């Protein structure tokens, strides 16, 4: 009996070692692919969270849906003259045997535009919606939203062609955040980086016409400071 138990224990330990090794290889391959894509786009890449994402974006409902938040595989730089950050983000819900990990690809565009607060959660990802979006003000083309109906309509019109990806959107002062649920291991934010210029146009559409940009050099200096360095 003791021999059988020892063999089982060795088998479990061996399986754990193999599993960890496989995860490490997958992470390395993913990071390498993202780094290559970042270079092709003249952007920078860091495999670790150099921006302290959970703290920096703690006020966003999208990143506050659970506990043990963590980010990695960050691509950053400037697109259309604005600071952009993209990263993998994970958090956990539940505890013990009921604990689940939820994963998202996230893109943040820092901006000088004056944006009205807006949260639009995609109905395709309704099961993972934060409380703030479940208590929404209305529905708009596949999203439940809180905030300005006019801004929600403009964003839906601009982003409707990628709504099927599960895209959710949140605007807060100085930045807009786009997140896509990761449903398969090979999913990443790479395809959505090509959409960023259009998303920036979306930002301009959603901003009040007379306040699309903050005037003066101070706003520009702030954007530069937040841009291409961790």
Would 31 be classed as within a structural domain? no
- Whole-model pTM? 0.76
Average the pLDDT over 196-202 and give the result: 77
**In the predicted model, is pLDDT for residue 84 greater than 90?**
yes
- Structural domain range at position 209: 44-225
**In the predicted model, is pLDDT for residue 2 greater than 90?**
no
Q: pLDDT (tens digit, 9 = 90+) per residue, 42-53?
A: 899 999 998 999
Number of domains making up the chain: 1
Would 37 be classed as within a structural domain? no
Q: Which residue has the higher pLDDT, 174 or 214?
A: 174
Would 21 be classed as within a structural domain? no
Would 170 be classed as within a structural domain? yes
Calculate what percentage of the chain has a pLDDT beyond 90: 20
Q: pLDDT (tens digit, 9 = 90+) per residue, 171-196?
A: 887 888 999 998 877 777 888 888 88
Give the span between the Cα atoms of 223 and 215, in whole angstroms: 12
Burial of 120 (0-12, 13-18, 19+ CB in 10 A): buried
Give the span between the Cα atoms of 86 and 182, in whole angstroms: 14
Would 13 be classed as within a structural domain? no
Band (pLDDT 50/70/90 cuts) for residue 202 is low
Per the DSSP assignment, residues forming a β-bridge with 142 are none
Would 30 be classed as within a structural domain? no
Give the span between the Cα atoms of 83 and 81, in whole angstroms: 7
Q: Which residue has the higher pLDDT, 38 or 167?
A: 167
Q: pLDDT (tens digit, 9 = 90+) per residue, 98-135?
A: 788 888 999 999 887 777 889 999 999 988 887 766 66
Q: What is the pLDDT of residue 107?
A: 94
Would 19 be classed as within a structural domain? no
What is the widest separation between alpha-carbon atoms in the chain?
79
Q: Which residue has the higher pLDDT, 17 or 11?
A: 11
Would 134 be classed as within a structural domain? yes
Q: What is the pLDDT of residue 196?
A: 85
């Amino acid at each position: 009996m003791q021999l059988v138990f020892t063999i089982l224990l060795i088998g479990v330990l061996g399986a754990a070692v193999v599993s960890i090794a496989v995860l490490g290889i997958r992470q390395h391959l993913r990071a390498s692919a993202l780094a290559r894509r970042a270079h092709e786009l003249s952007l920078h890449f860091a495999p670790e969270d150099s921006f302290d994402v959970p703290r920096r974006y703690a006020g966003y409902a999208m990143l506050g849906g659970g506990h043990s938040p963590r980010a990695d595989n960050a691509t950053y730089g400037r697109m259309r003259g604005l600071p952009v950050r993209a990263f993998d983000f994970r958090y956990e819900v539940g505890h013990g045997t009921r604990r689940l990990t939820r994963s998202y690809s996230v893109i943040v565009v820092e901006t000088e535009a004056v944006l009205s607060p807006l949260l639009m959660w995609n109905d395709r990802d309704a099961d993972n919606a934060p409380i703030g979006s479940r208590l929404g003000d209305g529905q708009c083309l596949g999203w439940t939203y809180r905030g300005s109906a006019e801004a929600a309509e403009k964003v839906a019109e601009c982003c409707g062609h990628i709504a099927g990806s599960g895209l959710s959107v949140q605007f807060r002062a100085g930045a807009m955040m786009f997140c896509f649920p990761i449903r398969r291991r090979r999913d990443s934010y790479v395809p959505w980086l090509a959409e960023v210029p259009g998303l920036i146009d979306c930002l301009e559409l959603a901003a009040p016409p007379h306040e699309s940009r903050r005037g003066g050099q101070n706003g520009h200096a702030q954007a530069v400071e937040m841009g291409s360095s961790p």
